[in-house]
Every structure is written in structure tokens, then in C-alpha cells.
């Protein structure tokens, strides 16, 4: 059973909501965050990327940076830019992109659910990134940013969320600079909160869609605080962490593509010849070609686009990892032909989120920075769930969820 818990959210006043809300810490480098927050003292980036308020070039993992995070959080509280709700509530967070809207339930997930596998994951995490977020949670004593979860859609939950949305105008309602819409409702009715929590308790599992490092950090800090508290009861706020839960049938994963710096000593013609062992290769001309089905790839090479269709027998449809197009491309092309053995460490490869469009692949090859680009058909939510349910891990850079959650609409305090 999955736990969904209401909490006393720390939130901006309505008039500051759009100014406080920011992109997540991990989609911006320090320079980009500094520029994005320029002239906006309310931006949550001052807390989640606090190096922007310190000298340029400072190590973002230095003690001064973490100290600045808590200093800025205290400032936000003192100024009334973040205010705690008087009671424990759940919240609805809606995001609109390209005319489609997805509705998430904001509440706390359980540290126990993460530790015992009710919360299922599909990516490996890196210890250094976990520790960075753990330090941030420890010093702020808060989950400053939510994690992005999915759950198997439940019609009654959908109906309750729809009723909340119909009953009242949103407390927050703005369009961010990227053109994506954000709306936020507070669920104050105790009966509605109780019913939603009861329906979540019937779910066999929830799934980390985006934010594996933040999820791991939140759970591990909760575990630490348990061990340090001789009077631990299990009801403390540190036993829970902030998550936005979306029904799986409302989510869309977009493509995550690859660009490679060289052809591993091959000419373009030799590469195409080698590819024909495992793929049907069709030249598609100079116009951008986007894959239209699983096991079909797009390649941009030498000013031309090619359609690569994996031949039958070159992949295993019964293997949740082997059937993935990222696995097929990695095994048959990147490793076997181009000599790229480790996607996490090899500097010859880079990854381009589909939100940038296939024109970005063309640009990077045409500029001479890269030699060849590959575009993939996007992974489905069902594939993600199958992998997480089977205990497997997706290859690196497989999923790209869009739109990203805005940070700062609500914060969860651990004390």
C-alpha cells in the first residue's frame, strides 16, 4: 500500500507565487541560475542554487554555499515570502504544455515506502549527487523541491481532483517564461483529504518519474534522523518527503537523443555499411526526419537524415531492458560500431533532450562539434512501469519528462 500524507505547506503569498516559483536546481548551471534570478529577490533559486548570491566561481559544494541556503530560507520566512499553512492539507498542481494539462496531487510520500520498495525506481543514482542534496535537506530541514511521481490511474482519484478544480479558482495561476502554464489549488476539506489518502493506500506501488537523487536524499536523511532520535515514534515529519503524484495516463515522456563526436575511425560510407548488418537503412534527404515507431531510429550524418529500422531478431521483445530502443542503439551502434562502452563516462557522446527539437541535433553536427546524431522514439510510461516493477534499471539518459515541476509552489518542512 502507498502512503499519501497531508502536511502544513510552506508557500508563497498569491501575489508572489510566479516570482518565487523557479525551475528545478538540476536543470540550470550556476551561471544560468544567476542570470535567471537576476533582479528577482523572490526566486527560490536563491535557496536551491544559493551560490548565485556568492562570488562567481565559488565551488557550489562548499560549506559557504550550504550556509547561504539556510540564511536565504530564513530571510524568505522573515520577509513573509514563504508562509506556513495553518493545517495539514493536500494540494493539486496542474501543468499545461502544448494545449494539454496534467493534474498532480501534492502530498508527502513515505520514507518507509522508499526503503521497502513500494516506491519503485528505474534509474541508478550517484553517491556524490545524493550527498549534495542530503546536505541541502539537512541544513534547510526541508524538502525545498518536490519529486515527480507517477501512479496507476484511479478513476475515483481523477474524479475527486476534477471536482476540486471545478469548485474553486486556483490560488496560483501563471504562465512561466517558457510558455508553460502552472495552476495550484489547496484541498482543505478533511473528508476529501481522508478519501484521497485511503485511495492511495489501495495502490500497490508508486513510481519515481523524475528526481531520483532528490528522492534518495530525502529518504536517507529521514533514515538518519530516525537513528539520531532515541524517542522516534514513526509519526515525525522527517518520515515523509514532498512529492507530486500524477496518474500515469496523463504523462508523456519525450525523446532523449544522442550526438557523437567522431565515427571511431570510420568514413560515413563505412558507418552506413556497418549499420546495414543490423538495420534497414533508408536515406530520407535533408529535411528533418523524426522516428515514428519503436525500433525505428533517425540518424543525421553528412547533411542527410537516415531512417534506421532494426531488423527482426536483433532485440528481445520479452526482455524489458532489451526491448528498449536506447538498449538497441547502445548495443548495436554506440558500442559495437562506435566503440562507446560506458554512456556515463565517455566524453565522445552527449545527450540532447527532445524538448530542444531535432533541429538541435542538426545544428550540433553541422557546426562540426559532433559528427553524427541519433534520434529515438520516446519510451512509453508502460515500459517505464514494466522496468521498475521487474526491479531493472534503465540505461542512462532514457527518459525526459516535460514540463518540469516548478519549485517553490510549496515546501515541506521536516520539523
Position 257 scores a pLDDT of: 96
CA dihedral 311, 312, 314, 316 (to 10 degrees): 140
Nearest to 60 by CA among 34, 35, 21: 34
Strand pairing report for 206-210 and 119-120: parallel
Which residues are paired to 350 by β-bridges? 259
- Return the pLDDT at 27: 87
> 407, 5 in Cβ contact below 8 A?
no
Q: Which three cell numbers stand for residue 250?
A: 496523463
Name the residue with cell 541560475: 33
> How far apart are the C-alpha atoms of 59 and 108, rounded to whole Å?
32
List CB contacts of 199: < 8 A, sequence separation 6 or more: 154, 156, 157, 160
Block means of pLDDT (10 residues each) for the chain, length 415 residues? 97 98 93 97 98 96 96 98 98 96 98 96 88 95 97 98 97 96 98 98 96 94 96 96 98 94 98 98 97 96 98 88 93 97 91 90 97 96 92 87 94 96
| E strand or H helix that includes residue 242 | strand 240-247
Q: How many CB atoms lie within 10 A of CB 101?
A: 12
Q: Confirm if 64 and 54 have CB atoms less than 8 A apart.
A: yes
Q: Look at phi and psi of residue 137 and say left if phi exceeds 0, alpha if psi is from -120 to 50, else beta.
A: alpha
CB 338 within 8 A of CB 275: no
Alpha helix segments (H runs only) across 180-316: 190-200, 212-228, 268-275
CA 18 to chain centre: 20
List of residues 6+ apart from 279 with CB closer than 8 A: 297, 308, 309, 310, 311, 314, 332
The whole-angstrom separation of Cα 415 and Cα 409 is: 19
Kindly report the number of other CB atoms within 10 A of residue 322's CB atom. Answer: 14
Spell out the domains of the chain, with CATH numbers in brackets: 10-251+402-413 (no CATH), 256-377 (3.30.1760)
pTM listed for this prediction = 0.90
The answer to whether the beta carbons of residues 72 and 64 sit under 8 Å apart is: no
Closest Cα partner for 206 from 230, 241, 234, 257?
Answer: 241
Indicate if the alpha-carbon torsion angle 279, 280, 282, 287 is positive or negative. Answer: negative
* Residue recorded with cell 526491448: 323
d(CA 131, CA 16): 31
Question: 105 is written with which cell numbers?
Answer: 496531487
Tell me the pairing of strands 181-187 and 206-210: unpaired
Q: Return the ∠ at Cα 171 (arms to 167 and 177), rounded to 5°.
A: 125
Q: Find the largest Cα–Cα distance for the chain.
A: 70
Amino acid at each position: 500500500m502507498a502512503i499519501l500524507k497531508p502536511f502544513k505547506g510552506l508557500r508563497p503569498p498569491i501575489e508572489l507565487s510566479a516570482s518565487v516559483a523557479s525551475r528545478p536546481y538540476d536543470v540550470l548551471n550556476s551561471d544560468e541560475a544567476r542570470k535567471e534570478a537576476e533582479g528577482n529577490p523572490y526566486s527560490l533559486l536563491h535557496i536551491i542554487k544559493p551560490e548565485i548570491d556568492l562570488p562567481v566561481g565559488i565551488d557550489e559544494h562548499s560549506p559557504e554555499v550550504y550556509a547561504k541556503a539556510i540564511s536565504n530560507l530564513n530571510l524568505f520566512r522573515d520577509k513573509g515570502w514563504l508562509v506556513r499553512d495553518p493545517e495539514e492539507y493536500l494540494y493539486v498542481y496542474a501543468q499545461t504544455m502544448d494545449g494539454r494539462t496534467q493534474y498532480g496531487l501534492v502530498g508527502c510520500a513515505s520514507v518507509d515506502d522508499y526503503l521497502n520498495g513500494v516506491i519503485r525506481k528505474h534509474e541508478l543514482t550517484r553517491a556524490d549527487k545524493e550527498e549534495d542534496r542530503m546536505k541541502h535537506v539537512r541544513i534547510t530541514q526541508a524538502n525545498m523541491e518536490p519529486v515527480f511521481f507517477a501512479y496507476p490511474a484511479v478513476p475515483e482519484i481523477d474524479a475527486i481532483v476534477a471536482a476540486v478544480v471545478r469548485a474553486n479558482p486556483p490560488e496560483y495561476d501563471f504562465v512561466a517564461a517558457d510558455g508553460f502554464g502552472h495552476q495550484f489549488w489547496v484541498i482543505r476539506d478533511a473528508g476529501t483529504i481522508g478519501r484521497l489518502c485511503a485511495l492511495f493506500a489501495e495502490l500497490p506501488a508508486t513510481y519515481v518519474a523524475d528526481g531520483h537523487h532528490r528522492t534518495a536524499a530525502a529518504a536517507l536523511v529521514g533514515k538518519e534522523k530516525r537513528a539520531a532520535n532515541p524517542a522516534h515514534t514513526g509519526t515525525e515529519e522527517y518520515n515523509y518527503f514532498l512529492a507530486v503524484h500524477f496518474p500515469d495516463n496523463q504523462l508523456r515522456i519525450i525523446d532523449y537523443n544522442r550526438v557523437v563526436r567522431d565515427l571511431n575511425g570510420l568514413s560515413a560510407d563505412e558507418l552506413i555499411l556497418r549499420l546495414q548488418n543490423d538495420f534497414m537503412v533508408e536515406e530520407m534527404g535533408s529535411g528533418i526526419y523524426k522516428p515514428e515507431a519503436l525500433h525505428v531510429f533517425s540518424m543525421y550524418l553528412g547533411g542527410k537524415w537516415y531512417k534506421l529500422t532494426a531488423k527482426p531478431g536483433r532485440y528481445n521483445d520479452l526482455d524489458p531492458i532489451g526491448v528498449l530502443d536506447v538498449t538497441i542503439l547502445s548495443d548495436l551502434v554506440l558500442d559495437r560500431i562506435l566503440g562507446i562502452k560506458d554512456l556515463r563516462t565517455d566524453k565522445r557522446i552527449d545527450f540532447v533532450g527532445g524538448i530542444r527539437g531535432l533541429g538541435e541535433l542538426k545544428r550540433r553536427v553541422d557546426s562540426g562539434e559532433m559528427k553524427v546524431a541519433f534520434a529515438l522514439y520516446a519510451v512509453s510510461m508502460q515500459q517505464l512501469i514494466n522496468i521498475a516493477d521487474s526491479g531493472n534499471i534503465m540505461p542512462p539518459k532514457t527518459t525526459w519528462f516535460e514540463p518540469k515541476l516548478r519549485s517553490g509552489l510549496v515546501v515541506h518542512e521536516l520539523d
